[in-house]
């Protein structure tokens, strides 16, 4: 009897372990682990303490921000799927998280014949349109170490978001809405709404997007972008335009949130001050010389105004060129040179040392899995 009891117990345990696997197979469920590990050495002049100083450092993401993530898909039948994504961003040089949000994406939803609906923390419509339609480089949407265009994307992501995306032939559109959960202490949550429409066929892509962003306490930002790109064999060309406009009288917290979106070294170091409007024009190209070697160059021109302090108003020019060599489908090396120059008020200088121009050189290695 004892042997029979043991056999039955083992059989039940085996069934308990196997049943989720059997169910997963029946439901055609899949879980995919993916990621990017990127590290680079970056040298800049006119940065750091003192006039004409230079800075050399290792950075945890030169071409891409390092990350690991999990994609989940389950076939529910009748063309309907359950989908989910969790993605953590980290710095390869130190092993620390890249932001206060442990998961930079954390969403789930349903996808069917009439599009997909997702909810959680995810990319906003401005970021979606630019990176999918007129990205700076054909082999990587932008350079992580130097990305002036992302300063116009209102943080690129939003919390508490509902997003609906549908695609019919060459046309794709999306709508987003994120709930305002009244976080007036840190500004981590805010109400947003917007959408985009794009067309892509035969190497040509074009689109436009609009989004508003209610700042935590008293003001809001209206943003829109439009542009297009064309791919012809090895050649890729693109151009785009974007605008952010502040409405209302911002509080100190509102100003800090907007400054974090517009500023930062990776966004070219073009600080906001009290400006209320920023426009940016961008144009660039890429060329694939061999299956392994890609090159690209991009030019951005930005202008901000609206501050009662004249020293906050001015212009900035950004130039970046990158060569990328692929050792395999997963591993590549890159070398980039960027240049920033500001004109106008003294408050838009590139850092505390008052620099008006800066050159950066970045060399790194990237692996995808």
| pLDDT of the residue at 27 | 56
CA angle 112, 113, 115 (to 5 degrees): 65
Report whether 36 contacts 368 (CB < 8 A): yes
CA–CA distance, 26 with 76 (Å, rounded to integer): 10
| Cα separation values, 223 from 65, 174, 278, Å | 25, 16, 10
Q: Whole-model pTM?
A: 0.88
Q: What is the per-residue pLDDT across 280-330, written as a single tens digit (0 to 9) for each? A: 999 999 999 999 999 999 999 999 999 999 989 999 999 999 999 999 999
Report the pLDDT averaged over residues 58-79.
96
**What are the helix (H) ranges across 27-158?**
125-133
Structure tokens at 208: 């436009």
How many Cβ atoms are within 10 Å of 279's Cβ, its own excluded? 16
Residue 130 parent element (H or E): helix 125-133
Report whether 298 contacts 320 (CB < 8 A): yes
End-to-end CA gap in the chain:
52
CA–CA distance, 266 with 268 (Å, rounded to integer): 5
Least confident of 3-12, 19-28, 42-51, 167-176: 3-12
Closest listed residue to residue 362, CA positions, set 78, 125, 60: 60
Could you please state the CATH topology (level 3) that the domain comprising 24-368 is classified under: Porin (2.40.160)
| Cα separation values, 198 from 100, 207, 232, 236, 329, Å | 32, 4, 19, 18, 29
Report the pLDDT averaged over residues 61-73.
97
13 pLDDT above the threshold of 50:
no
| pLDDT of the residue at 349 | 82
More confident residue, 151 or 327: 327
| pLDDT of the residue at 24 | 41
Q: Which residue has the tokens 């060459």?
A: 170
Q: Measure CA 41 to chain center.
A: 21
Q: What is the per-residue pLDDT across 189-200, written as a single tens digit (0 to 9) for each? A: 789 999 999 999
Count the alpha carbons within 13 Å of 226 in the hemisphere toward its beta carbon: 2
263 pLDDT above the threshold of 90:
no
């Amino acid at each position: 009897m004892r042997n029979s009891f043991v056999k039955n117990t083992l059989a039940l345990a085996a069934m308990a372990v196997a049943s989720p696997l059997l169910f997963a197979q029946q439901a055609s469920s899949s879980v995919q682990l993916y990621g990017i590990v990127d590290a680079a050495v970056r040298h800049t002049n006119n940065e750091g303490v003192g006039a004409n100083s230079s800075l050399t450092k290792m950075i945890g993401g030169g071409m891409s921000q390092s990350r690991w993530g999990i994609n989940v898909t389950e076939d529910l039948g009748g063309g309907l799927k359950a989908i989910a994504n969790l993605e953590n961003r980290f710095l390869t040089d130190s092993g620390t998280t890249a932001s206060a949000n442990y998961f930079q994406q954390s969403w789930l939803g349903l996808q069917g014949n009439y599009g997909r609906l997702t909810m959680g923390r995810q990319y906003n419509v401005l970021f979606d349109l630019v990176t999918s339609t007129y990205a700076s480089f054909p082999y990587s949407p932008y350079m992580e170490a130097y990305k002036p265009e992302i300063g116009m994307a209102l943080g690129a992501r939003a919390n508490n978001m509902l997003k609906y995306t549908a695609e019919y032939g060459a046309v794709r559109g999306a709508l987003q809405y994120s709930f305002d959960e009244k976080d007036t202490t840190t500004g981590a949550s805010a109400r947003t709404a917007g959408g985009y429409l794009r067309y892509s066929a035969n190497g040509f892509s074009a689109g436009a997007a609009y989004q508003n962003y209610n700042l935590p306490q008293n003001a809001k930002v209206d943003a829109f972008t439009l542009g297009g790109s064309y791919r012809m064999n090895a050649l890729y060309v693109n151009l785009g335009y974007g605008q952010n406009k502040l409405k209302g009288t911002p509080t100190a917290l509102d100003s800090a949130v907007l400054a974090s979106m517009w500023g930062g070294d990776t966004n070219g170091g073009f600080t906001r001050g009290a400006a209320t409007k920023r426009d940016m024009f961008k144009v660039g190209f890429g060329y694939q010389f061999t299956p392994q070697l890609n090159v690209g160059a991009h030019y951005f021109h930005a202008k901000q105004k609206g501050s009662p302090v004249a020293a906050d108003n001015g212009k900035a020019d950004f130039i970046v060129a990158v060569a990328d060599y692929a050792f395999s489908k997963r591993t590549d090396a890159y070398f980039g040179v960027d240049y920033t120059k500001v004109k106008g008020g003294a408050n838009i200088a590139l850092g505390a040392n008052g620099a008006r121009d800066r050159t950066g050189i970045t060399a790194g290695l990237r692996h995808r899995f």
